Amino acid sequence: MSKVLVIGYVWPEPASSAAGKRMMQLIELFREQAYQVIFATTARHTDNMVDLESLGISTRKIQLNHPSFDDFLAEVMPEIVVFDRFMMEEQFGWRVDEICPNALKILDTEDLHFLRKAREKALKKRLPESELIHDLDLTKREIAAIYRCDLSLIISEFEMHLLKKEFNLPSEFLHYLPYLLNNPKEEEIARLPAFQERKDFMFIGNFLHAPNWDSVLYLKEKIWSGIRKKIPVANLHIYGAYASEKNFQLENKQQGFYVHGWASDSSTVLKQARLCLAPIKFGAGLKGKFIDAMLNGTPSITTPTGAEGIAINGQWPGFIAEEPEDLIARSVELYHDEDLWKGKQLRGFELLRNRFDRNEYSKEFISRIETLKAGLQKHRKLNFTGQMLKHHLHRSTYFMSRFIEEKNREK
């Protein structure tokens, strides 16, 4: 049986983050192709992590800068290695090249970290992101990791365009792979709560993710009071994994602003809400909260950044706005207008069918993998930049790793 080794940044938490759901989609896709999946990570266990072993997926706790990883690789000898985010490629890529040089190396970017960071800095400094994006160390590191891999999975069409046009990355090394969804069946849609059965607004997002925390603060400081003045009976419910005391301190029941923390079942809270309200000011990739909202028939209000990679020609299952007064006005309008709400809900189901059909994208991805495996050496010869970056990083990383190993032995 062919083997896929996934080197994870964290243990998958599909109930806590879009990244966790994405990872489980990839794992399931490989398993459907009869691959044996081994998941390895340096991360500690968490309360919200999925039990991979119970699903028939082998797991291994691995160490940084330790020769035991070389022994593990030699034992597994995978045909494919998937790096979960570029940091994992930086840390383990050179060892993979040494121990199993014929393994197909795939980088799942999740989102472009440098894009998210550039936007965050641009927001704070009130500068265009284009003035910062090329200068970040993170940009150079992430793009270097893309070059060192045989294929990089890009979740957003916007990010595909950015890498090709702004950084001249060849299409041969990139593959567009959005979320892989089984779209709701008609009978499932029919069972969803109707407009009159729903009430209130909701936001959901992992509190450890900076764009989510920024959005919650934005709602508290600039948005919610304006909506509440127009709809005094409405409440806003904030959900998210890893809420801390500073997050819960934002709660104000008199203002209808509730902070609940982790939702064990996001579908339940989404189905209860009339609108998903998420004015995201910076970020990257696809925002899983809006995918989940569409799956549960909940229209949403967001910003151009929030809608990026999902909307088609500005078409959105709700409204896209940027200024606080526009976000407030659109929220109030959609909350009251049942016919408008129903139309936006239907648009969400259309977007799901047109943008994230699992069968279509799964077939394309598997075909790409098989083609690469059959002509891997020829493919690599096209990537001289990647070979050059491997050479320099591998030498520096090798000596640093060996130094750390020796220091650890002395303890």
Confidence of residue 297 (pLDDT cuts 50, 70, 90): very high
> Do 381 and 339 reside in the same domain of the chain?
no
Q: In the prediction, which pLDDT does 240 show?
A: 93
Answer yes or no: do 74 and 143 share one domain.
yes
105 three-state secondary structure? strand
Tokens of 201: 């607004």
What crossing angle do the helices spanning 288-295 and 338-355 adopt, rounded to 10°? Answer: 110
pLDDT of residue 402: 58
pLDDT at position 102 is 96
Domain CATH for 243 = 3.40.50.2000
- The pLDDT mean for the chain works out to 93
The pLDDT of residue 130: 87
Residues 6 or more apart in contact with residue 279 via CB below 8 angstroms: 215, 218, 219, 223, 301, 302, 303, 306, 327
pLDDT number for residue 16: 86
Instruction: Provide mean pLDDT across the span 211-215.
Output: 96
Together in a domain, 203 and 159: no
| DSSP code at position 126 | T
Kind of pairing between the strands at 36-41 and 257-261: unpaired
Residue 236 has pLDDT above 70, yes or no: yes
Give the mean pLDDT of 307-317. Answer: 92
pLDDT at 302: 98
User: Does the pLDDT value for residue 264 go beyond 90?
Assistant: no
Count of domains for the chain: 2
Residue pair 85/62 in contact (Cβ under 8 Å)? The answer is no
**pLDDT value of position 13:** 94
Residue identified by tokens 């990570």 is 41
Residue 162 and residue 245 in one domain: no
- Is pLDDT above 80 for 127? yes
- Same domain, yes or no: 261 and 121: no
pLDDT tier at 408, thresholds 50, 70, 90: low
Asked which of 355, 383, 399 is the last residue of a domain, the reply is 355
What pLDDT, in 10s, does the model give residues 18-42?
Answer: 899 999 999 999 999 999 999 999 9
Question: Are residues 337 and 194 located together in one domain of the fold?
Answer: yes
Task: For residue 103, give its domain range.
Answer: 3-181+358-410
Model-level pTM?
0.92
**The pLDDT of residue 395:** 63
- My answer on whether 64 and 173 are in the same domain is yes
Does 249 lie in the same domain as 190? Answer: yes
Cβ neighbourhood burial of 376 (10 Å; 0-12, 13-18, 19+): middle
* pLDDT tens-digit readout, 86-119: 999 999 999 999 999 999 999 999 999 999 999 9
Average pLDDT over residues 202-209: 94
Are residue 110 and residue 196 in the same domain, yes or no?
no
Q: Based on the domain organization, do 317 and 213 belong to the same domain?
A: yes
Residue 219 sits in the same domain as residue 247: yes
Q: Do 207 and 322 fall into the same domain?
A: yes
User: Which of 336, 355, 374 is the C-terminal boundary of a domain?
Assistant: 355
107's CB contacts (< 8 A; 6+ apart) are 82, 83, 86, 89, 145, 146, 149, 151, 152, 153
Dihedral sign for Cα 392, 397, 400, 405, please.
Answer: negative
